[in-house]
Structure 1
Amino acid sequence: MDYREAGVDVVAGRAFVEGIRSLVHSTHRPEVLGGFGGFSGCFQLPTGYRQPVLVSGTDGVGTKLKIAQTLNRHDTIGIDLVAMCVNDVLTCGAQPLFFLDYLATGKLNSEQLTQVVSGIAQGCRIAGSALLGGETAEMPGFYQPGEYDLAGFCVGIVEKSKILDGSQVEVGDVVIGLASQGVHSNGFSLVRKIVQDTLLPVGGEGGELLNPWHTCPELLGGKSLGEVLLTPTQIYVKPVLDALAAGVEIHGMAHITGGGIPENLPRCLGANQSVQIDSNSWVIPPIFQWLAEAGKVSREEMFNTFNMGIGFAIIVPSATAEDSRKWFESQGIAAYTMGTAINGTGKFVLT
């Protein structure tokens, strides 16, 4: 008996690593040291910082993976993985430097997982982050055929004096919401429940989606449900860092992930502050209306679960709010004046 008979093909694993070499190299920055395939990755700190602070963040994609695996489409899920990490790191003003992924599967499917890694590489290029390395684990008996799981983390850098930690936010500051590209990567357990209960499953109860590429007239542009749900998470790194470099004054930032706007926006406030948001101040994408109606989900639950069309928020001085909003619009990102920071105890007030 050998390892291959037990379900792990070491030779195929080596071939897979060699096959993704060019994808990894396509993301490298000048600070990357050494080659690809070692036990660890080396990265030299960029110059120009007086008191550099390293910032780290880690995340996964959650049950959105089930949608990708059901539809057998794996080219965008890696973008989601990178986005979930780099957007978190960005909130304190940090520039992502490098990213590492962990990919686990029951049986190595080189074609499938190469698509996944190509998405990770694309996300890293968008974020300006080097794909420094990763780990691929073949675990027979632990995952069903065709299943895989993803996790990753990134490390960024910021000047200590420029860290955004909530202390810069003042009462009266204005919240600018940057549009999401859809559901992003949160709330998919509820999404899958709604879809499975709404579209008749194949083979009865517990089956997979019937015609997941079903076109819903309610969805923007008449796209299929599968296309809309697999739209990758927006990566906000470049426009936000460019804004800071251009002199846009930003006092706080929030990545709108699990828990939606009510949970995430207050996390970037200062002491004795709350935030008041006008729910009519931005355009909520049609996919959220479809989910609410199909699943009979309350307005409160929708806001507590999904981003509702706002993927990232910045807090700016009221005097420069409109100029800041227009700056992001000029970069091709829909931006909305959503509300203000008020006196309070860290609560979220939706009107």
Structure 2
Amino acid sequence: MHIVGGLIDLTARKRAEEALVQAQKMEAIGQLTGGVAHDFNNLLAVILGNLELLQKRLPSDPRAERLVSNALEGARRGASLTQRMLAFARKQDLHVEAVDMGSLIRGMEGLLKGSIGAETPIHTEVEDGLPRALVDAHQLELALLNLAVNARDAMPDGGTISIVVGTRVHNADTDDLARGHYISVSVSDTGTGMDPEILARAREPFFTTKGIGKGTGLGLSMVYGFAAQSGGAFVLNSQLGQGTTAEILLPIAPALEIPSTEQENRQPANVRPLRILAVDDDALVLMNTVDILAELGHEVVSAPSGSKALEALQTQGPFELVITDQAMPGMVGIELCRRVRKIDPSMSIIIATGYGELSDAPDNVVVVSKPFSEVTLIDAIGRTQAARSETVL
């Protein structure tokens, strides 16, 4: 009697199944995180707006001024936290440009040393003749700072941080990255490293091995979301007792791409009083927006939905500007914009979004992220009026 047997290696299949489950898990967490960040941004918009208005009306009382200033700082930290959550959920607004990585790394040396501490040496190496990366420079700086701080914290007994920038060829199409040439930015430490179980969870938001009060657990998740949204990838390699290397892969900018020269710190434009229609389904947010606009001298009519806004346009117009929320039931801000433009093609429009990302907004629409300050709103209104003037000319 003969028995014919065979062996099948299921290792590759098992790894693929585990990778799929992990990807689905991260996607679900990302959707939840983005939703929480959106709702939190609405709350912060109310808090920040009212505190700024209150600050203007305070009597000459140093203690009261200090209390309001502390509350404002806490709210701004909350806004920073939601930006990290949106980064993980891949819903932040990115301003990509062709970035000289050598200049960016050299420009960060002072910031890195000040944040990490002089006792931790940082070694940097940038490949000669490196092409520019297509990336949001500010968000990349935040990502690198997060990775450097994590690297320092992973070396309680001291060690060296290495930042290496070069090109890398990705030879195979994968679920998270197409084959091709990329800019590689890696941050390595000589610290404690991670075991496989911790490494598998390291990119999850709010997961941290640091003590209470020493970390939010959003640093690596922010980098992961930022890299993916930038058209690249985030790769973690670590072995227990041998340190960790965190690598960001970024797209290479087209050869003719030039760096953006627009300055984000431009002075807000002076705008004459306007007749404005403000639209938001959240009553507190709507009231806050109306109060800020009225404080600036504008005449404001409010509407709690897209359909009510269209009614107001017909019955309470004319208006010179519409400011609308994006995420509203029944009719989102973008759809309202399209319908408003059918009524008045020259109408100036601002869309406020708690998600931060709005890639399909109609032309000549200004997008602001919640929570926005009074200065941000002044600047946005100024840009709509400048665009309107150019259109008229």
Whether these two folds match at TM > 0.5 is no
Name the structure with the higher helix share: 2
Shorter chain as denominator, the TM-score bin is: under 0.3
Quick check: which has more Rg, 1 or 2? 2
Which one has a larger percent strand, Structure 1 or Structure 2? 1
